Structure 1
Amino acid sequence: MISLQFPMRNRAYFDSIIEFAPSAGWFCLMWLPLAFQYTEFHPTGRFIQFASVTVIAIILLLADWLCFIKAKQRTFFDDQRSVRGFLDLVGLLFIFLVALHLYLMPKIPLLALVVDENATQSSLVLLRHNSAKLLDISPFVKYLFNWILVVFAPIYIVIAVFAGHWFRAISGLFVASFYGAATLAKFPLIMLLITCLFALSVMPTRYRRVLSLVLTAAILIGMVLVAVFVSSSSVDFMRVRPGNVEVAAFAQMKPDDPRQALSYGDNLRLQSNDADLQRSTILSAAVYLLYRIWLTPVDVSNRWYQYFTYVKEKPMGFRGLIPLRDTMMVSPSREVGIWAYTARFPDKYSNTVNAYASFDADAFARGGTLGVFIATLLLMGARIGACFLVTSSAIAFAGYGVLLCGLAILPASASLQAIFGAQGLFLILLGLVVIRVLHNDSLKRKFGGN
């Protein structure tokens, strides 16, 4: 067994700058787009949302600073034997779950796209839903399948790269990429690559500082590009409703109905496909990314604040908090989605639409401003707790890196129960606790229990 131990106390500040990822992610994905669209949103619930998002940004920054200080004091112990055993265990679980899910799919969407000449866009979308969220299995098994790309695969790939097992790393990336592409879903594959990059920037290697600087530069460049793009004349078409389009549903709405205020995203939804085809390929791609990543999460969350201020007289509490199989209850995300989107754009959204909100919007729907406060404390507790649970183990470093990426991206578009349940971050927290307990027991045995 080859073991290496070295202190990490005196390394450069840039080695730990990745600790600010959660606050940077919240600022870029929630605060900035909310400030940009603030005047376009209806006053109903608008100020409460902005105040909540701002307070959360400040608290996240303080939590990240505390974790940044803690990260500079970590030590690392490289135990190659435990790494090999862990890779064997996670690799078997990873492959088994991938094979099981592919077997249970009624038809693999990727293969249908390749071999079925009669496949259409709508049939592929239906097939993708039938292979994932509509698959007739228990919610827990669906969670297991979801954890493949967000927990098991990135941790396996990152530790394999760190340990120098390149064949395992490449094989794992290939299997994960095929599995992600099998359902024709784009986001899981992108999230997998970003997560691996994040986690590698946490691992104590010679490339750590370079990766941290690359991520920092990418965020700064992205912010500059977005600022230049949204301030240019290239997006003037988003600022006004298309002149020849009317929203029929407005005629049945009350004068104070907040749905009558059209956002930038709404103006894009009202545009015809011909208008999109008239744009250049580069501009169309830029608009799509701006719409999907930057405008939509805040837009959807704003509709939650509106719905649970204007429509509902009291918070919904814990309703729908835990997914149940074979239930006729309409989920809050579908309830808001039908109210905010299907009712106004029936040609673009069906009654099966789900409008998934940011963690603060979901918390507001469940408990008002008090709910937002409690959810923020829980998120901060998980963020700070994970940082202080990290031991000198390579496995702990990898898990923490995956969790850090999740906390940087997911809160802007997912509830707490989705972040820690469907996205599996509670598994990483649990793993960090187990590793910490084993680490403490090892120290006790080493020093005679004192």
Structure 2
Amino acid sequence: MRFILVLFIFLTSCQFIEPQAVYEEDQLNAEHQSFVERRARLKQESEEHTLEEKAVFFENKIKKNMPLGLAMIPKYYGEKVGDELRVDLNCHLLAAMAFKYDVTKNKEDLEFVEKLFHSFIQVDEANGMDGYLPVKVRYNEERAEILNNECHENVYVQLFFAYQIVYDKVPSLRKDVTQHLEMIFRHFMKNDFTLYDQNNEEVPYSDLSPNAWQVYNNRRLSLISMLDLGRRCFGGDLRAELELVYLKVLNLSYPYFIQRQAYRSFGLEFPTHSSSWLNYIKLYNGYKASEEKYYLKTFENLEKFYKAQINPFGQLIGLEMGLYKQEDVDLIIKKNLESFPLDLRQYPSLGSIDTKSFRGSYVKLKSREESTTFVPVYARPFESIEWKHNQLRLDGNFHSKGEKCYTGVDYLILYWMWKSSQD
């Protein structure tokens, strides 16, 4: 009884996000009408361009807005972004362009991949070339500069994703990738796989040290997938050191624990969509490096929680792991990419007002209306990389004025990863 009371109090403290709670009635009507008109315009825009034309558009836009001396992108375009560039987003751009080169074998595409890869070296050099890469940087017309020492082990998850794809798809860069990976691994290893910044201070939420009392299964997944990548890429003494750590995590039953990545109970969901999205990337990293079966089981268990959303990025990961059929994934990818508009400005979305919906789970003490069927990309509230979010969400970005415009890197990673899978 006491537990039920505590749960009731907890749930009543959670927020249910709906347009009616944000706007007055006259404002709500005006905002909804604007949303309906914008949705129709974006639908037409998405249908007027081929998938290839959209890929060319986003790539050209990204290149046009890059600093001349540093091939790196921001989170979004707009006055408020200033000169901040994001290492994590560049990981996805590098991965996308490596997949593209795998398809085209074009010299210009190879040169762009090389520039993108070298941007990570420039960032590391700005920080003393020690294997620590803060997530936010800028370019001052002469060199890369660190904005602050903020980072997280999840940035490295995305970097390993990009580097392994380059390792596989761009053979001419394999040696360079391996050398930088070795520096990064040694940075982690000197503190027992706990990330430390350039000031020798522990980075919050980035303790991956192998132990029997690890609370977070997603951190277990981070470590074991990282170890599998290192065991694939390295030889000699470093490989021998990693093998010892790998045996340790096996004895700690990591392959068993990592299979439990998501939980739902009493309308609550743990962890968040963004964490699960990162877990899909870790599964790609680990499985492509080792082909261990425990990654397959982990993927299948994780997918159970997001099956209704049919996330196209997750579908491609499953395809790469041999769990989905090419023809089935093709239909899902096309459906999403065909509904992707060119205009990625952040405006309010109020789809629950005229779309059949239900109340979704509480994530981070918040719940939102979700559609019962597929939501076209042009009808969703834009929030950074599309594939890291709930694919059925209808409402969001209340009071936004279109000041943010996202880069389209999410389109490029999906499009070129898909194209590469068809070869």
Q: Same fold (TM over 0.5)?
A: no
TM-score (normalised: structure 2): 0.27
Larger helix proportion of the pair: 1
TM-score (normalised: structure 1): 0.26
Asked which structure has the greater RCO (Cα within 8 Å, sep 6+), the reply is 1
Larger radius of gyration between Structure 1 and Structure 2: 1
Larger strand proportion of the pair: 2
